[in-house]
Amino acid sequence: MLKQPKLVIKEVSLAWTFIKCKDNQSFVKITIFASNFIKTILTMNQEDFFKKITAHAKEYGFIFPSSEIYDGLSAVYDYGQNGVELKKNIREYWWKAMVQMHENIVGIDAAIFMHPTTWKASGHVDAFNDPLIDNRDSKKRYRADVLVEDYMAKIEEKINKEVEKARKRFGDAFNEEQFVTTNPRVLEHKAKIEEISHRLYGAMEANDLDAIKQLILDLEIVCPISGTRNWTDVRQFNLMFATKMGSVADGSDTIYLRPETAQGIFVNYLNVQKTGRMKIPFGIAQTGKAFRNEIVARQFIFRMREFEQMEMQFFVRPGTELEWFQHWKQERLAWHLSLGLPAEKYRFHDHEKLAHYANAATDIEFDFPFGFKELEGIHSRTDFDLSRHSEFSGKKLQYFDSELNESYTPYVIETSIGVDRTFLAVFSHALKDETLPDGSVRTVLSLPAMLAPYKAAVLPLVKKDGLPEKAREIMDMLKPHYMLQYDEKDAIGRRYRRQDAIGTPFCITVDNDTLNDNSVTVRNRDTMQQERIPIDNLTAFLHNNLH
């Protein structure tokens, strides 16, 4: 993770010193000043973080703003030469775990355009809405439900602080379970969260936009930018992008850019089941672009208007779905942990409010530098989708279970993860400024080796004495198996830094001794340790160390 600027900490403590030496009356004013000040700093911190990530991603060819020469397009990004490799590796790592490793899961690649009735059947035309609200002073637009959820998250933070304080006070004797169920302050916070979520989700369910606005006013939620409560009314906004199909716009049907890849799987359920002779339980996986006209899209690639999903729908016998839901919860978490990032970076967030068609749902959240946020959703969707498509298409989308000797509409467990959010998670965690023993600072991108764009760089120490030719031989030997970079420009130290910055796990240096002993120096990106390895052992070395 990125280092926090030291300046911020110094300035916060200065603000506190200032507060402490004031009389009571000014104390209130100064507290308001200080809380706004701290808020500004926290916002600045987040902005600094995004600036650093965005700048690194751009400078090293990972991500560019879309159509940048025309000043870019809001919340749309292009992946550059290194970004495309990282993204492809994430996709392939997922595909291998989900499809290759499961004999009962197969993949498809459905078109982005789908028959318009698809989106009526799925409920997206009527209900794929977000409630939006504007602040009249800052002119910023927000998702009304997210404003309230952020407020609840702050109360939850207070609970966590109480728990941590008590843990310190009681030491080994601390019983967290007992504490959170009996401590009056924690209970008060919990009751508040419950009351707010009851009001919020009740209002969302009833589509009562006035009640959502009233909740925002009652909680005295202010705009993080202007600090005021000058809110407009809440309005519903459909997130699907619509366009017209065919060369004559008049009279042609409105079609939509798909807002999720899942529906391409549902409409192909029968095709795949029959042609693949699939037996329940079985899954269909798909990766591909999805489009949402997001109201607030300010967090780099976390929330984009065009993004990529990796989804799997797992079809099961009715009545077994909750067992399978638990199974996929654990299996998906294990996939995330297999990337080697710390376990405490992940947590489940079980949904309190379930969509009307779901009987269980959870998110796997990741601790991004801007807090825990959804990375993947796992949903038990009952038979809702297949039943609705049956109803709207008039085609029977069922399964004949020969063991039970009966036909039924399968139930579905869905796992749905964003490629771009996974990219942001691993990229933001991997990017570090490291102070070396000699006091210099290196920027290193410690990506999981299997995801790194290039697995190794081949570097002749100097551009003469036959070293480039030898290095080229090594390139030719390894290129068919691994993505490699060849670099002979600049001093070796600078070349190492360039590779560190794009996350290349190994640098293979060819020096004068190589010509005599047929060995090379292999430098490890993370430890910076170097070891001498015979060229003949390089393939095996990379094979053993790139996972």
Place of tokens 């002979």: 488
- From the list 209-217, 325-333, 374-382, 469-477, the region that binds ligand ATP by CB under 6 A is 374-382
Q: How far is the CB of 115 from ligand ATP (least distance, A)?
A: 21
Strand pairing of 282-291 and 105-107?
A: parallel
Among the listed residues 131, 418, 503, 505, the single contact to ligand ATP using CB under 6 A: 418
Interface pick for ligand ATP out of 11, 78, 162, 294 (rule CB under 6 A)? 294
Q: Does 498 bind ligand ATP (CB under 6 A)?
A: no
Nearest to residue 123, comparing CAs of 385, 492, 298, 318? 385
Cα separation, 387 vs 420, in Å, equals: 31
The answer to whether residue 303 forms part of the interface with ligand ATP (CB under 6 A) is: yes
Quote the least distance from Cβ 196 to ligand ATP, whole Å: 18
Window of 31-39, 78-86, 304-312, 482-490 that interacts with ligand ATP by CB under 6 A: 304-312
414 binds ligand ATP (CB under 6 A): no
Q: Which residue has the tokens 């400078």?
A: 59
- Residue 242's H or E segment, with its range, is strand 242-244
Query: Applying CB under 6 A, which part among 113-121, 211-219, 415-423, 440-448 lies near ligand ATP?
Result: 415-423
Q: Does 417 bind ligand ATP (CB under 6 A)?
A: yes
Give yes or no for a contact between 73 and 306, defined as CB atoms under 8 angstroms apart: no
Cβ at position 377, least distance to ligand ATP in Å: 3
Alpha carbon 476 to chain centroid, angstroms:
36
CB nearer ligand ATP, residue 158 or residue 353? 353
The vertex-349 CA angle with 345 and 355, nearest 5°, equals: 145
Amino acid identity of residue 153, one-letter, is: A
Q: Which is nearer to ligand ATP, 16 or 348 (CB)?
A: 348
Closest contact distance (angstroms) between CB of 229 and ligand ATP is 25
Which residue among 124, 258, 389, 421 contacts ligand ATP (CB under 6 A)? Answer: 421
Is position 413 an interface residue for ligand ATP (rule: CB under 6 A)?
no
Whether the Cβ atoms of residue 281 and residue 121 lie closer than 8 Å to each other:
no
Of 52, 292, 381, 455, the one binding ligand ATP (CB under 6 A) is 292
Under the criterion CB under 6 A, does residue 304 sit at the interface with ligand ATP? yes
Tokens of 425: 């998670």
The count of residues interacting with ligand ATP (CB under 6 A) is 16
Rounded Cα distance, 283 and 315, in Å: 6
Nearer Cβ to ligand ATP (119/399): 119
Task: Determine the residue type at 540.
Answer: A
- Helix (H/G/I), strand (E/B), else coil: 240: coil
Task: Pick between residue 241 and residue 454 the one whose CB is nearest to ligand ATP.
Answer: 241
Taking CB atoms, the residue at the shortest distance from ligand ATP is 418
With tokens 């401590």, the residue in question is 183
Q: Is 362 in the site for ligand ATP (CB under 6 A)?
A: no
CA distance 401 to 410: 10
Where would I find the beta strands (DSSP E) of 30-96?
Answer: 63-65, 77-79
Site for ligand ATP contains 377 (CB under 6 A): yes
Nearest distance, CB of residue 375 and ligand ATP, angstroms = 6
Structure tokens at 31: 């507290």
Look-up of token digits 């000014």: 26
Residue 278 or 285: which CB sits closer to ligand ATP? 285
Cβ 289 to ligand ATP, closest distance in Å? 11
Q: Which of 49, 119, 300, 307 binds ligand ATP (CB under 6 A)?
A: 307
Query: What does the alpha-carbon distance between residue 336 and residue 45 come to, in Å, rounded to a whole number?
Result: 27
> Which among 402, 110, 144, 147 has a CA at the least distance from the CA of 260?
110
SS3 track for 92-141: HHHHHHHHHCCCCEEECCCCCECCCHHHHHCCHHHHCEEEEEEECCCCCE
Report residue 209 as tokens. Answer: 């936009």
Residue among 62 and 399 whose Cβ is closer to ligand ATP = 62
Q: Does 63 bind ligand ATP (CB under 6 A)?
A: no
Residues 214-273 that bind ligand ATP (CB under 6 A): 260
Our measurement of the distance from residue 338's CA atom to the centroid of its chain's CA atoms, rounded to an integer in Å, reads 16
Q: Does 410 bind ligand ATP (CB under 6 A)?
A: no
Which of 261, 398 has the CB closer to ligand ATP? 261
Nearer to ligand ATP among residue 311 and residue 488 (C-beta): 311
Q: For residue 285, give every residue at least 6 positions away whose Cβ sits within 8 Å of its Cβ, in sequence order, or none.
A: 95, 98, 99, 105, 106, 107, 108, 310, 311, 312
Pick one of 134, 385, 420, 500: the residue that binds ligand ATP (CB under 6 A): 420
Tell me which residues touch ligand ATP (CB under 6 A): 260, 292, 294, 303-304, 307, 309, 374-377, 416-418, 420-421
